[in-house]
Structure 1
Amino acid sequence: MSEPTLSRRNVPAAALIHRRVPEGTGIVHLGLGNFHRAHQAVYTALAMEREPGPWGILGVASRSSTVADAMNAQDLLYSVVEISPDGSRVSVPGSHTGTLVAEQDPESVVRAIADPATKIVTITVTEHGYTVSPETGSLDLDSDAVRRDLGEMRTPRTTIGQIARGLALRASTHAAPVTILSCDNLLSNGRQTEGLVREFVGTFAPPLRDDLLSWMNSSVTFPNSMVDRIVPSGSDRYNEAALAHLGVRDTIAVPAEPFTMWVMEERFAAGRPAWEHGGALFTDDVEPYELMKVRLLNGTHSLIAYLGALDGRATIPESVAQPFVEDAARRILCDEYLPTVTVPASVDTDDYIRQLFSRWSNTALGHRTSQVGSDGSVKLAQRIPIPALEHLGRGTVPQYLSLTVAAYLCCIAPPPGFDPGPHARSMTDPARPRLAGMADNAASTTEFVRSVFVDGGLFPSTLASHTDFVSRIADFVDIIVRHGPAVAAGEASDPVPDLGTITSLRSSATI
């Protein structure tokens, strides 16, 4: 006989975080993915366990109904499987009160945001979900999805459109205050989200535009936040781990590392759960934590993923176990990212770096290079330009930032005739078709790289004027194509490249 499916009737009491059904729905969460379920939902369950309140979460999936359907079949429960080399631990957060799928029912999403019971709207839709122009940092008005939402009042499909329409309905009905809390890897994510929403609202006709902007000034807050937890994609092995621990079947178990962190500004317009009971930190200035995470962790993580994938490595632990990848990771972290960051006084830098490499080496978790390397066109726009410009402004070409861009291009838009391997081919990226066309049409590597900076829509075009930076990226692309990522990483450790070798490589490696 098969095991029963997870439900509130059969979940082991010791595993369930917050045993009572939430008193009400106070949070609408946009982006019902693995990260939210292993992060904000856990903090919220821990908060309600200590201080009960109306902080249940309505989880909104963007497109797929898979997770929402499974949660509905399991009394809105699922398991979080914490994986470490020492073993696993399973918990079940009881924080959700319902689900929606935005693609199927966008009007209900707008109504949920406008509901007076909603006090907070949290967001994890990845950097790509904010429809930001990489060139301007503003709302991408050239996006088909944004243009559609600007013309359609009732059924917005983009995250920014849903928030703007929800706030408009809220302001016109009861005008209760609300907080919009981005939990994605955007620098100053609250400020950016507010700017994007205001841009969207700015397209409305008066008097709606002016009335709504005025109401937002007094009644809507957008705190900055920083989130951190490595959460890979789910798989059957995690479902099996949940079964072994709980004795019941869970078809949507979420894997996660034991480490978790959440830092945010204390700016909530209508109250909040007692997230500090889950370990959340509140501060007046999130930026140092943001920069530390986005650059030291995420930026280095990207380089590990691209070098590892090009070296045929399926996972981050396999990648960082290669001496050349570990050395490159330490060099970019310590020599190029760290000088651009002011580490918070409460953080021991050496201990933080040791902890990062320990997390990346968690072989039991097995974070895939293809997952970490996906959507690089959006992720790298947050991680590369400002540090690169800082180094270039000092007269130094950042070798490993250059290598990161080169390795990314080799994975996503490989030169004709070059096979980056199965893990690179498995990476998804909205810019892949555009960049691949540039690679196919360029007469040389340098022309290709320059076109990426001028016309690729990935990085600010100001970087294209730094010809030494563009040239160095082209050098690394050529070396990867001819000799592989290990040789390229070795060249990066030499700030004065062998010009004869590079010239020879360029002459024989055109695109």
Structure 2
Amino acid sequence: MKPLNRDTANLPYKRSVKVLQFGEGNFLRGFVDWIIDILNEKTDFNGSVEIIQPLKNGIVHLLNQQDGLYHVLLDGIQNGKPTQEKRLISCVSNAINPYDDYEAYLKLGENPELEFIISNTTEAGIAFDEADKNMDTLPNSFPGKLTALLYHRFQCFSGAADKGLNMIPCELIEKNGEALKSTVLQFAQHWNLPESFITWINEKNTFCNTLVDRIVPGFPKDNIKEIQQELGYEDNLVVKAEPFHLWVIEAPDSVKAAFPSDKAGLEVKFVDDLTPYRTRKVRILNGAHTTLVPVAYLQGLRTVREAVEDPRAGKFIREAIFEEIVPTLELPAKELEKFANAVIERFQNPFIRHELMSIALNSVSKYKVRVLPSVLEYHKRKGALPERLLHALAALILFYKGEWNGEPIALNDSEDVLEFFKTAWAKGNVSEVVNTVLSNTSFWDRDLTEIEGLPEIVAKNITQLQQSAEQVRADSV
């Protein structure tokens, strides 16, 4: 089998570098670079990506062995039908490890055609590190590395107004662009950089808040040999991903014009405020996961797909989404319904095995952030309480009892949370258990027993779930 490189693929590289990308992991390669590759094909973007390895150890040597080439395989369901698609990604021109050559790294900032900095250095990546004392040697932190690069660029072009860059971080933290800018400015102060540089950062560079959404399982190690045979290349950097993609970027029109995704039919949205989209994702996608887990698990189901395709659990989660979550959100109804239908399809993806227990980590705090806001907003708008979302809360309290039908549940939460539930369930009486849990303000940031009717609904659901389980056990004897 032939190796994958630009000679064997007959793909000479001619595009100039417009994007520096901090991070060579599966997500950026299966999401951002996939998008940029389509931009090159369908618009006049005509730019390449140079990848910077943010940590000392990584895979840039493998990328360079393949001349930046690799395949993205999309597997999932679209419009109700299974779909599979493969794409050879050719937009990556080079990859560099700055730990090997700091000077070569800084020289990347001298490129006059550079426009974008994109990153995904994990949620912990955007952080100030006092240990980065100066720029004489490569800073350890990502914002430190970025500040050094930006200062080198500032000096190289004498602070030219048109040489500022657009920073588009993809780290999964709220207001990631603002956080990155704040940390860069913190380094500028820490290193006593000139006020003119700080002014240039503030006035001539753009830091965009973003929201990214695509499941990227990554390298398909279980069947890579078969995949390579089908591709016809020895590609050791294959990335698997779902078809769904969404990139919401809070940015001025100048960034949108420079990144013409609207001309490529991509789900990249440039908005003035991404808050409604973040809320939509947290409430519908993440909220549905958290709602589904305890309900489906107590029914004996173990994966998301299995649960969504189960007549009872599937009906429950669809009704919870469309009747109790969607009506509490601000975006246009058609847009919300389109997103909700896409979520159901993603849950049904036959190519991804998503274990319920992998989502169950820290379910109490997840319910507070992902589901409780929908409960409260539903109550505010309708003057009633959402039955299914409260049924999920009842199932969650039962789930945290730590056993069901005589079998232990491998709970995964902090020791104080687990100990709290152990003490609460020792009371025995369902109403007491419910009141103890719902009145715990450290869980919910408020006393939920103060909402009229809520404790009674939760207690009733717990009792019904227990009675149903007893009946099933009786019938099986």
How many angstroms apart in 2 are the aligned matches of 1:374 and 1:60? 32
Corresponding position: 1:123 with 2:111: no
Instruction: Show the counterpart of 1:498.
Output: 460
How many angstroms apart in 2 are the aligned matches of 1:270 and 1:171? 23
How many angstroms apart in 2 are the aligned matches of 1:162 and 1:91? 32
Instruction: Show the counterpart of 1:300.
Output: 288
Q: Deviations over 1:73-128 (max 9, x none)?
A: 222211111224645322111011223457x56957973774445321113345x3
How many angstroms apart in 1 are the aligned matches of 2:401 and 2:67? 44
Instruction: Show the counterpart of 1:420.
Output: 409
3-state SS of paired residue (1:498): helix
Corresponding position: 1:229 with 2:193: no
How many angstroms apart in 2 are the aligned matches of 1:294 and 1:314? 22
How many angstroms apart in 1 are the aligned matches of 2:272 and 2:367? 24
Matches within 5 A, 1:5-404: 5-11=3-9, 19-51=11-43, 55-63=47-55, 65=57, 67-84=59-76, 86=82, 88-100=84-96, 111=106, 114-117=109-112, 118-125=114-121, 128-129=123-124, 146-148=128-130, 154-174=137-157, 175=159, 176-186=163-173, 189=175, 192-198=176-182, 201-202=185-186, 204-205=189-190, 208=193, 210-237=195-222, 239-240=224-225, 242-264=227-249, 265-268=251-254, 272-280=258-266, 281-285=268-272, 287=274, 288-304=276-292, 315-344=303-332, 347-369=334-356, 383=370, 387=374, 390=377
Instruction: Show the counterpart of 1:139.
Output: none
3-state SS of paired residue (1:71): helix
Deviation at 1:201, TM superposition (A): 2.1
Is contact 1:110–1:163 with CA below 8 Å preserved after alignment? no
Is contact 2:23–2:121 with CA below 8 Å preserved after alignment? yes
Distance 1:353 1:441, change over 3 A: closer
How many angstroms apart in 1 are the aligned matches of 2:374 and 2:60? 39
How many angstroms apart in 1 are the aligned matches of 2:237 and 2:384? 48
Distance 1:56 1:262, change over 3 A: same
Q: Deviations over 1:161-196 (max 9, x none)?
A: 444454444445433210111335555x4xx42245
Deviation at 1:451, TM superposition (A): 12
Structure-1-length-normalised TM-score: 0.67
Q: Deviations over 1:295-344 (max 9, x none)?
A: 32233234446666777766431232234543443344234432332224
Corresponding position: 1:439 with 2:418: yes
How many angstroms apart in 1 are the aligned matches of 2:155 and 2:396? 46
Is contact 1:81–1:255 with CA below 8 Å preserved after alignment? yes
Q: Larger Cα Rg: Structure 1 or Structure 2?
A: 2
Distance 1:66 1:499, change over 3 A: closer
Structure-2-length-normalised TM-score: 0.71
How many angstroms apart in 2 are the aligned matches of 1:234 and 1:311? 33
Instruction: Show the counterpart of 2:445.
Output: 464
Instruction: Show the counterpart of 1:142.
Output: none
Letter in 2 for 1:436: E
Distance 1:501 1:362, change over 3 A: closer
Greater shift after overlay, 193-202 or 378-387?
A: 378-387
Distance 1:304 1:180, change over 3 A: farther
Letter in 2 for 1:129: A
Letter in 2 for 1:198: S
Greater shift after overlay, 213-222 or 317-326?
A: 317-326
Q: Deviations over 1:46-83 (max 9, x none)?
A: 22234566621123455585543432322221111122
Is contact 2:26–2:216 with CA below 8 Å preserved after alignment? yes
Deviation at 1:247, TM superposition (A): 1.6
Greater shift after overlay, 371-380 or 279-288?
A: 371-380
3-state SS of paired residue (1:363): coil
